[in-house]
Amino acid sequence: MKRTILFAAAFAMASGAAFATNNIEGIKIEPARIKAGSSVTITVTGDETQGNNCGLRINYGNGQGLDVKVVDKDQFPRTFSNTYASPGNYTVSVEGKKVTTHFGCTGSAKATLIVEALPAPAPPPAPAAVRAPTPAAKPAAKAVGPGCPQGYQASYVQKDGSYGCRPIPNSAAKAARPACPEGYKASIAAKDGSFQCKPIPKPVAKPKTRCPPDMIYFENPDGAFGCRKPAGK
């Protein structure tokens, strides 16, 4: 009986030493803050003094992960890379897991990664304004003198520059007193308040005329002028 117990204890101790595995000690994410669409490097550290093969599972925190064998020739530290497309806070973790014939490493670790949203794209440039086709030029309207006062509208234009003004029907603006601008004279032509502005004739400069000694200069009311001999000579 004693031999059986001693044998079982010895077997357990031998089995424990045979199946002792490396220990996971920590995990580090570089950089710990990124923009969406960027990648990070994840480093897993551990104690490899046991020197036995083991397995681990790294979880990227976005529903993806990777099972890894830790063997004598490729132990700690272990590095991994992963890309994160969407913004958010992710918990990246590592833990022991049996992978094929390798027992799971002991221990576990986790770290937080912050993924920031990309800045909003700049709005597209505004489309160039479409210019309406230039309408054909209309014949220039004949000048209507300096214009009619408030509450009136031009009614006609004559060749000599005279023009008529008549009150605008139902105008909200109160019609001003009939008046013509400088250089025109007004005359009321109708009971409705219409009036005419007629240019004041400008005196025509007469050429300087020198008469012979035996003649005198004259001007007639009709505008005629000249030189003539004095009456009775």
Write out pLDDT tens, residues 33-64: 999 999 999 999 998 777 678 999 999 999 99
The 78-84 sheet, strands edge to edge: 23-30, 38-47, 78-84
Mean pLDDT of the 169-192 span = 74
Domains of the chain, first to last: 2-116 (2.60.40.10), 152-199 (no CATH)
Q: Strands of 159-220 (E only): list them.
A: 163-167, 184-188, 195-199, 216-219
Cβ-Cβ contacts under 8 Å for 223 (sequence gap 6 or more): 204
Let me know: does 194 contact 165? Beta carbons within 8 Å.
yes
Write out pLDDT tens, residues 73-112: 668 899 999 999 999 999 999 999 999 999 999 999 999 9
Tell me, rounded to whole angstroms, the distance of Cα 148 from its chain centroid. Answer: 47
Token pair for 132: 């309406």
Q: Which of the two residues, 17 and 65, has the higher pLDDT score?
A: 65
